[in-house]
Amino acid sequence: MNHRTKAYFDDLAQRAAVAPAIPRTPWPEARPNACHANCEAFVLRFAGYEVVRGWLVSDGCWFVPHSLVRDTASGTLVDISPDPGNSGAVAFVEHKGTEEEFAVLREGRDGGGCIRSPPICWLAASRHVRVVTGSALKYLQRQLGS
C-alpha cells in the first residue's frame, strides 16, 4: 500500500469514530444494492441535490463503499437507497478526494489484495481497516440494504 492510501484510510478511521448515522429515506424508484446508480439517477431527476461518495462504517473498522445525496440548500445528507435488511441508520464517512480516486478505492486497487476463497478484496491500513469489495461487498450490501 502506498503512503497516500495509508494516510487516506488513517484519516477515514479517525473520522469514523465520530461519524454520524444517516437515516434512510428510500426513494420509491431506488433499487436495493445499487446506491451509486440510485444517487446518480436521483440528482438527474431532482434539482438541488448532489451525489456524495463515502463509506458505511461497520464495527468501527470495516468500510463499505456507499453513496448518498446531499440537499445543497440545507447540507443535509439523505440515504435514498432501500434497506431490505432493515438495518436502520448506519454511520457514514464522506470521501475526501476526486470521483476517480473513489472509483479506484472502491474497486480495492492501489494497494489492495484479493483472497480467492472466499472471494474478498481488501485493503489494510495501519489501524486494521478493511475495505470490503467483491462478493463480500455484495453480501454486506444485501445485509445493509445499500
Q: What is the pLDDT of residues 58-92, one digit of tens each?
A: 877 788 889 999 999 999 999 999 988 887 888 99
- Residue 114, domain extent: 3-144
Phi, psi for residue 137 in degrees, rounded to 5: -65, -45
| pLDDT for the residue 127 | 38
Q: According to the model, what pLDDT value does residue 31 have?
A: 94
Q: Can you give the pTM of this predicted structure?
A: 0.74
d(CA 65, CA 146): 9
Structurally, the chain folds into a number of domains equal to 1
Question: What confidence score (pLDDT) does residue 124 get?
Answer: 37
Reduce the DSSP state of residue 58 to 3 states and report it: strand
For 85-118, what is each residue's pLDDT tens digit? 887 888 999 999 999 888 888 776 433 433 333 3
State the cell numbers at 108: 480495492
Helices (H), 24-91: 35-45
Dihedrals phi, psi of 68, to nearest 5 degrees? -125, 180
